[in-house]
Amino acid sequence: MTDKVRLRIAPSPTGDPHVGTAYMSLFNKAFAHRHGGSFVLRIEDTDQTRYNPTSVGEIIDSLRWLDLLPDEGPGIGGEYGPYVQTERRELYIKHAHELVDMGHAYRCFCTSARLEEMRREQAARHEPPRYDRHCLRLSPKEIERNLSEGKPYTIRMLVPDEGTTSFQDLIRGEISFENKVLDDQIILKSDGLPTYHLAVVVDDHYMEISHITRAEEWISSTPKHILLYNYLGWELPKFAHFPLLRNADRSKISKRKNNTSLKWYREQGYLPEAMINFLALMGWSMPNGEETFTFEDVKREFTFERMATSGPIFDLVKLTAINGKYIRTLSDEELYERLLPYLPEDLDQERVRRAVPVIKDRLTTLGEFAELTGYLFGPPPDYDAAGLVPKKGTPEAARAALERIRDLLAGLPEPWSHEEWESGMRGIAAELGLKAGDIFMVLRVAVTGSPVSPPLFESIEILGKEETLRRVDAALAKLG
């Protein structure tokens, strides 16, 4: 074991790339790199029933999107591979049997049916569900017979009846468990693949992981892992259990109650740097109190000591606010570039460029651009003729206003200035005894199809005189 700093994330390829994976990656990569170490990706695919073949690629894509790519991992390379657990099965089998030989583990031939029955009875007696060690009492002869009959078996670790197992958590301090509350956990399944508990210990050892970071849901299995390290005679890594991201009801974050897929955030148009900033604010903060910062800042400042212990609620509203803030700091050109993946390719690019500065302050995600600016690239959404009529006005007033606006626009030189247009508009309002706001509203609805829209003048400018006039005529026709 060296004193190299090596951290890893170990997601299971069971579904969409999870926001929790990004959360852990952020701090792991920051800490590893801060100390000149490596950040590793390992795929924990020992549960074949939940395996999803597209998942690994999507996890990597998502990490690349967030600029959190690992230094080592499947498809990335590294000297500690393979980085996929099913490709390492011989290693687990070897150590599982080694543990059996040492008397620290034993074969269990119990069927799932018997185990279920056992648990049912324990529940009925209000006892904690634990393996009753039926197979620990098997004689060598019985074991021999079961083996020769080809009975399937699992391997369970043997937990001491007495004593306590404790460890120093980098985030939470000392945590200890009485060994008697620990179960004789299955470490090798009957399909020959390890359970998490064995695989994680073996891999973290061989991959020379120096700091084991994971969510707090793993705290209660840590003593089992420590026991395994001790049985195997391996040096203990450091442990840090991070707070669990929560739903609004404080339960563990789930896709039922939250958008947990990183693909979703990308599709909506959240900026990776906003995502990073938001995630870093969950349970952590900059020493100087700064709330807007980058990955580089986290890398420079991250320490386990500053990590909070209680699980933060994942608040989409705050993420969205941060995202809007990041969008506003982008230059028009940058924003244009970032918008491209979210737009149909056949959109008039020149028009998109001109729409960018107009819409920037109103964007909260990149994905909103298309809907917010739809009227600039096609006909305005259909609206009711009543929408053209000023609050205290009549359809006749709206008609008179539109006719004069049409004449005003038609008579304006091309290009015309905001000033000459606005004074013309105000003149019409005065002439008709309407408020300026009413006049602008009539035009706004005629041009954008909605009483709520991006700035009117800029919109007209982008659409051009001809198209604007067409829309005014359409509005007139609507009024009948």
Q: Does 201 bind RNA (CB under 7 A)?
A: no
Which residues from 156-175 bind RNA, rule CB under 7 A?
172-173, 175
Q: Which of 317, 371, 392, 466 binds RNA (CB under 7 A)?
A: 317
Angle between helical axes of 395-411 and 465-479 (0-180°, round to 10) = 160
Is there a contact between 211 and 194 (Cβ–Cβ < 8 Å)? no
Q: Does 268 bind RNA (CB under 7 A)?
A: no
Cite the DSSP H helix spans in 249-331: 262-268, 272-280, 295-301, 316-329
Q: In whole angstroms, how close is the CB of 442 to RNA at the nearest point? A: 10
Q: Which of 244, 271, 434, 472 binds RNA (CB under 7 A)?
A: 244
Is there a contact between 73 and 102 (Cβ–Cβ < 8 Å)? no
Distance CA 308, CA 101 (A): 42
- Can you spell out the DSSP letters for 348-403? -HHHHHHHHHHHGGG-SSGGGHHHHTHHHHSPPPP--GGGGS-TT--HHHHHHHHH
Q: Which is nearer to RNA, 1 or 123 (CB)?
A: 123
Is there a contact between 452 and 389 (Cβ–Cβ < 8 Å)? no
Q: In whole angstroms, how close is the CB of 11 to RNA at the nearest point? A: 7
Catalytic residue among 255, 299, 435, 465: 255
Q: Which is nearer to RNA, 252 or 263 (CB)?
A: 252
Q: Does 291 bind RNA (CB under 7 A)?
A: yes
Q: Which is nearer to RNA, 3 or 164 (CB)?
A: 164
Q: Which is nearer to RNA, 186 or 397 (CB)?
A: 186
Which residues from 416-435 bind RNA, rule CB under 7 A?
418, 422
Q: Does 150 bind RNA (CB under 7 A)?
A: no
Is 255 among the catalytic positions?
A: yes
Q: Does 189 bind RNA (CB under 7 A)?
A: yes
Q: Which of 8, 205, 246, 266 binds RNA (CB under 7 A)?
A: 246
Sign of CA dihedral 168, 172, 176, 181: negative
Is there a contact between 359 and 372 (Cβ–Cβ < 8 Å)? yes
Q: In whole angstroms, how close is the CB of 148 to RNA at the nearest point? A: 18
Which residues from 10-69 bind RNA, rule CB under 7 A?
10, 12, 44, 46-47, 50
Q: Which of 67, 87, 98, 361 binds RNA (CB under 7 A)?
A: 361
Give the side-chain half-sphere CA count within 13 A for 9. 31
Angle between helical axes of 349-359 and 456-463 (0-180°, round to 10) = 170
Specify the stretch interacting with RNA by CB under 7 A; choose among 245-253, 257-265, 335-343, 400-408.
Answer: 245-253
Distance CA 48, CA 45 (A): 7
Q: Which of 221, 259, 277, 373 binds RNA (CB under 7 A)?
A: 221
Collapse the DSSP code of 184 into the 3-class scheme (helix H, G, I; strand E, B; otherwise coil) and give the result.
coil
Q: Does 250 bind RNA (CB under 7 A)?
A: yes
Q: Which of 227, 105, 234 is nearest to 167 (CA)?
A: 227
Which residues from 89-118 bind RNA, rule CB under 7 A?
110-112, 115
Q: In whole angstroms, how close is the CB of 409 to RNA at the nearest point? A: 14
Distance CA 446, CA 476 (A): 9
Q: Which of 73, 283, 367, 424 binds RNA (CB under 7 A)?
A: 283
Residues marked active site are found at 255
